[in-house]
Amino acid sequence: MTTHERIHLEVGKHYADAARTAAAGASSCCGPAQSKWGTGNYDDLADLPGAAALASLGCGNPTAVSDLREGEVVLDLGSGGGIDVLLSARRVGATGFAYGLDFTPEMLELARRNAAEAGVTNVEFLDGPIEAIPLPDGSVDVVISNCVINLSPDKPAVFAEMHRVLRAGGRIGISDVVTEDRLTDDERRERGSYVGCIAGALPVSEYVEGLRDAGFVDVSIDLTNEVGDGVHGAIVKATKPSG
């Protein structure tokens, strides 16, 4: 088994367990600083199924920073129980559409159940890894994600895929965990595991460089809260050039 396969297996098991916990009516949260993770980042959960909130494992609220507009098509990478997809569907309205992508069958089942319970029809949950998005080139306006890209063992592939599926002028609005540049790989591993969203977190400068290498412009990373020594929740924004 390769390192990439091992990480995918570890992450998949963790989130499958979280989905089962949420489906049973218990909270599956959370990360290294519980007060700053999960539903504590939201103030707009009215009318959403309880299981969508219980399955929330994110470190932010990407729907609040991505400036979603009526009629847009949005894609949520690592959509979990569907909380950000359902919120996005509400924001883009009946003329817009929201995709969720996840590779954990248990999370996909939970998300589809939550969408049906909420009566939301302008959504679709796709099965697949975020390193190989099952959508055509230039098919979405906005890519969001909530504390998931740090879990990927192949972040350059994720950045390239985001760029590929975005239309010209499209944008990303991502909540993620990053580290200060001063931390070594060993120091990141000492502070937490992959499934705890720390061991796989990129240094800020490497994150910026990776997005620029993929073709993005106007890249910005704003640190929002510290979740460990040299480890931060962050808002990541970038744009695909329009020309």
Q: Answer whether 177's CB lies under 8 Å from 204's CB.
A: no
Share of the chain above pLDDT 70, in %: 70
* Nearest partner of 221 among 198, 229, 212, 69, judged by Cα: 212
Confidence check: pLDDT of 238 > 50: yes
Whether the per-residue pLDDT at 57 is higher than 80: the answer is no
Which tens digits make up the pLDDT trace of 129-138? Answer: 999 999 999 9
Give the global pTM. 0.83
Residue 53 reports pLDDT greater than 80? no
Q: Alpha-carbon dihedral of residues 199, 201, 203, 207, nearest 10 degrees? A: 150
pLDDT for 80? 86
Options 3.40.50.150, 3.30.1490.20, 3.30.43.10, 3.40.50.720; CATH for 3-239 is: 3.40.50.150
In the chain, % of residues over pLDDT 90:
51
pLDDT at 101: 96
**pLDDT tier, 33 (very low <50, low <70, confident <90, very high otherwise):** very low
- Which three-class secondary structure state does DSSP give residue 92? helix
Residue 155 in this model has a pLDDT that exceeds 90:
yes
For the chain, domain boundaries: 3-239
